[in-house]
Structure 1
Amino acid sequence: MITAGVLDIAVELHGPESGTPVILLHGFPDDVRTYDGVAGPLAEAGFRVVVPYLRGYGPTRYRDPTTPRSGQQAALAADLLALMDALGIGRALLAGYDWGGRAACIVAALWPERVIGLVSAAGYNIQDIPNALRPADPERDLRYWYQWYLHTERGVAGLTANRASFCRLLWKLWSPTYPLTDAEYARTAASFDNPDFVATVVQSYRHRHQAAPGDPTLEAIEARLIAQPPITIPTVVLHGADDGVDPPANSEGCERHFTGPFRRIVVPDAGHFLPREAPQPWVASLKNLADR
């Protein structure tokens, strides 16, 4: 457990403390187990690997009952910076997908001096909140049904009562070709029993669509993100070819947001839970960034 900012963050550590730091950030609804196939090879190669449970997941806890249970993008970035400071990490390789990819992209954009290189699944993950009310085409909006569901009190009650089955349905829809077993899912679903999971998730999906207020202490970060700041550090974008919620077409053209060295790779036979399904591209990309 690492005391960092407003959280006590549960962290798994691998590899020598003297190695190049790599921070692996999971998404929704997932946990640190998604990086089991990535952390080991990196540690064996001499990296200092840090794999935290995000706010609202697993053993991670808010330190103060009055802290807003916010899953907004600025909160995730602030947590990442606080964790780096608490561990004495000046600069690190960052890798993430979904919520974790958002945290990594924001820190890379706003604090590039803290980042050696970035691996981001599905592209530029910084939300364009001022334009969030602009509808997409109906087929794309349909994929985000869970977000609209969580805007309702019925959705909050549904996630509260059925969090394991709700999240498993998302896994099935988002990674349709992945042979998920009951045992593998159960190891991660336990993280959704965190007492603040529902509140943090609901606020995240409401805030991004201007349907919930943000944490006032994070307004300065959110204000900087309105400009959709470019990411200037070396970046690899990975995208699962079978991603059922954010198909590869969504990241086409994302290079306009990246002004440093950039590469985009579409990973075959993999869906949204990309590090779990295809760990090797993550390992290779991070090693290549470290060698630049």
Structure 2
Amino acid sequence: METLEPLKHIEAGVLRVAYFEAGPADGKPVFLMHGFPYDIHAYVEVAPMLAAAGCRVIVPYLRGYGATRFLHAATPRSGEQAALGADLLALMNALKVPRAVLAGYDWGGRAACVVAALWPERCAGLVSYNSYNIQNIARGMEPDTAENEHRLWYQYYFHCERGRAGLAKDRRGITKLLWKLWSPTWRFDDATFERSAAAFDNPDFVDVVVQSYRHRFGLVPGDPAYADIERRLSAQPAITVPCITFDGADDGVRDPAPASVHAARFTGPRSHRIVPGVGHNMPQEVPRVFADAVLELVALHTS
């Protein structure tokens, strides 16, 4: 089974980031950002496609995943959106990448959206699954429809200490169930899951996940180091860079939505596409479609 190896490591912000890199060093840079509960192998087919097309491809493990580690024990193990965006920006700085196409889904898509919204000069283009992926924490406690509340059971589970203990006790059981529920038409095998599940053995995984799902509802404070970023995100800033956004027709977390739902949050060029037969883990389910979207934006960056 293919893997994204060997890994490189670099100190960036509060982390020592583990990442995979492929393609020519002078190629147009692309960052591919994974979500929860997945890892860099969501891009095991996308990354080689982009490298073969001449891109410099960088696929990092997020904080709390894989071989990425915090530099200091005292750093809060926060999974809040501001931290994810700050991590991506710090990685770009550490790698001396002034501008790149950013692509991702779930947590990784959120990091990409944060950078695109707050530092647009660093983002040559954005591929975002589930469109505008910046949380409106001020409205986090407003109830949703019964069907949508049902889908978010795992978030409410992590709000209590029983959920923390459950995740610590059975990381694989919970995350594999989420894979099945979120991508009901994707037929992955045990080996594919285990290749990614190894990333959840990171010693900070449980703390980062739990903080993330509590913070987005305003139940716990964030890391003070990111307070200004969270303040800026609370205004729900528009994304002005060229974008391709996706929804999956079979996504078990969010129903597909027309472009109009998020139109006010995208003030630059945007193409929105609903992909049939696709669940939540789009780059791993339909890698060619995802890679082609990235290349569309790379071509704009080149021209």
* TM-score interval for Structure 1 and Structure 2 normalised by the shorter chain: over 0.9
- Partner residue, 1:28: 36
Match of 1:10, SS? strand
Q: 2:234 aligns with which of 219, 226, 233?
A: 226
Equivalent residue, structure 2, for 1:158: 166
How far apart, CA to CA, are the structure 2 residues paired with 1:249 and 1:117? 21
What is the match of residue 104 of structure 1?
112
Corresponding residue number in structure 2 for 1:190: 198
What is the aligned counterpart of 1:41 among 22, 26, 49? 49
Q: Which of 68, 76, 82 is residue 84 of structure 2 equivalent to?
A: 76
Q: Deviations over 1:141-175 (max 9, x none)?
A: 11000000001111000000000010000000000
Any idea what SS the aligned residue of 1:100 has?
A: helix
- TM-score if structure 2 supplies the norm length? 0.95
Secondary structure at 2:31 match in 1: strand
Q: Which residue, 177, 180, 205 being the options, matches 1:169?
A: 177
Find out whether 1:212 has 2:223 as its counterpart.
Answer: no
CA RMSD of aligned residues (A): 0.9
Judge conservation of contact 1:122–1:250 (CA < 8 Å) in 2: no
Deviations 1:235-282 (A, max 9, x none): 000111100011203865112210111011111111001100011122
Q: Which deviates further from its counterpart, 247-256 or 120-129?
A: 247-256
Amino acid corresponding to residue 66 of structure 2 in structure 1 = G
Is the contact between residue 102 and residue 125 of structure 1 (CA under 8 Å) also seen in structure 2? yes
Q: Equivalent residues in 2 for 1:128-167 (5 A)?
A: 128-167=136-175
The residue that corresponds to 1:279 in the other structure is 287
Structure 1 stretches of 4+ with a deviation exceeding 6 A read none
Q: Deviations over 1:109-138 (max 9, x none)?
A: 000000100000011000000111111111
Q: Identity of aligned pairs, percent? A: 56
Q: Which amino acid aligns with 1:102?
A: R
Residue 257 of structure 2 aligns to a residue whose secondary structure is helix
Contact 1:7/1:61 (8 A) holds in 2: yes
Measure, in 1, the Cα distance between the counterparts of 2:274 and 2:11.
37
| Match among 232, 243, 246 for residue 235 of structure 1 | 243
Deviations 1:167-218 (A, max 9, x none): 0000000000001100000000000000000000000000000111100010
Q: Give the count of matched residue pairs.
A: 292
Residue matched to 2:96? 88
In the alignment, what sits opposite 2:296? 288
What is the CA–CA distance in structure 2 between the aligned matches of 1:46 and 1:126, rounded to whole Å? 30
Task: Name the CA distance, whole Å, in 2 between partners of 1:188 and 1:100.
Answer: 15
- Within 1, Cα distance between the matches of 2:196 and 2:91? 22
Match of 1:62 in 2: 70
- Equivalent-residue separation in structure 1 for 2:257 and 2:94 (angstroms): 38
How far apart in 2 are the matches of 1:149 and 1:286?
A: 35
How far apart, CA to CA, are the structure 2 residues paired with 1:251 and 1:149?
31
- Which is further off, 38-47 or 280-289? 280-289
> Residues 122 and 251 of structure 1 are in contact (CA less than 8 Å); yes or no, is this contact kept in structure 2?
no
Tell me, in whole angstroms, the C-alpha distance in 1 between the residues paired with 2:280 and 2:133. Answer: 14
Residues 200, 250 of structure 1: CA spacing in aligned structure 2 closer, same or farther, 3 A cutoff? farther
For structure 1, list consecutive stretches of 5 or more residues without a partner in the other structure. none
Q: Which residue number corresponds to residue 4 of structure 2?
A: none
Matched, 1:123 2:131: yes
Contact 1:151 1:206 in 2 (8 A): yes
- Alpha-carbon distance change, 251 to 153 in structure 1, aligned in 2, over 3 angstroms: farther
Of 19, 31, 52, the residue aligned with 2:27 is: 19
**Alpha carbons of 1:251 and 1:99: their partners in 2 closer, same or farther (altered >3 Å)?**
farther
What is residue 180 of structure 1 aligned with on the other side?
188
1:199 paired to 2:207: yes
